[in-house]
Amino acid sequence: MVRRRTEEEGGEEESKEVEVFESIEDIPGIGPSTAAKLRELGYTTVEALATATVNELVSGGIPDKTAAKIISLARSSIEVKFVSALDILKQREHIQKLTTGSRKLDALLGGGLETMTITEFFGEYGTGKSQISHQLAVNVQLPVEKGG
């Protein structure tokens, strides 16, 4: 089954329609024999095809141009985009620190909890996991100059 989604390009009003493929057979150029070859190679989902390389598909008997087309369509369908290290560095420049409310815990965490990350607190019951979670829910609402 093929669905269509509309996405904005570059934050502009202009939008383009993108086909969303739900199974590998929905991708144009994949017939029953190609689908069978892909399944033998272990590619059973559109997501798996989107992360494949042309050489991997060619080694399984798929022609170069067909492999490139299949991978391109799969990637556009699920919005797989590769990010350069420079782009990640630029994102990391915007990370801020959120105070826990405890100077010693902030020091242990390297200045507080980083934004845009996931931090996990774990331990036995009664060790303060819920307390720190509730405190952080309040602290995140503070102005930046007060550690929020």
The 10s digit of each residue's pLDDT in 89-130 is 999 999 999 999 999 999 999 999 999 999 999 999 999 999
**How many domains would you assign to the chain?**
2
Q: How far apart are CA 18 and CA 5, in angstroms?
A: 5
The 10s digit of each residue's pLDDT in 40-84 is 999 999 999 999 999 999 998 899 999 999 999 988 888 767 789
Among 78, 112, 132, the domain-final residue is 78
Residues 60 and 40 both lie in one domain: yes
Q: Which domain holds residue 15?
A: 2-78
Residue with tokens 């269509």: 4
Among 59, 78, 97, the domain-final residue is 78
pLDDT at 14 over 80: no
Q: How far apart are CA 96 and CA 119, in angstroms?
A: 14
Reported pTM: 0.52
Among 60, 78, 96, the domain-final residue is 78
CA-nearest of 66, 75, 71 to 31 is 66
pLDDT at 83: 85
pLDDT at 5 over 60: no
DSSP state of 117: S
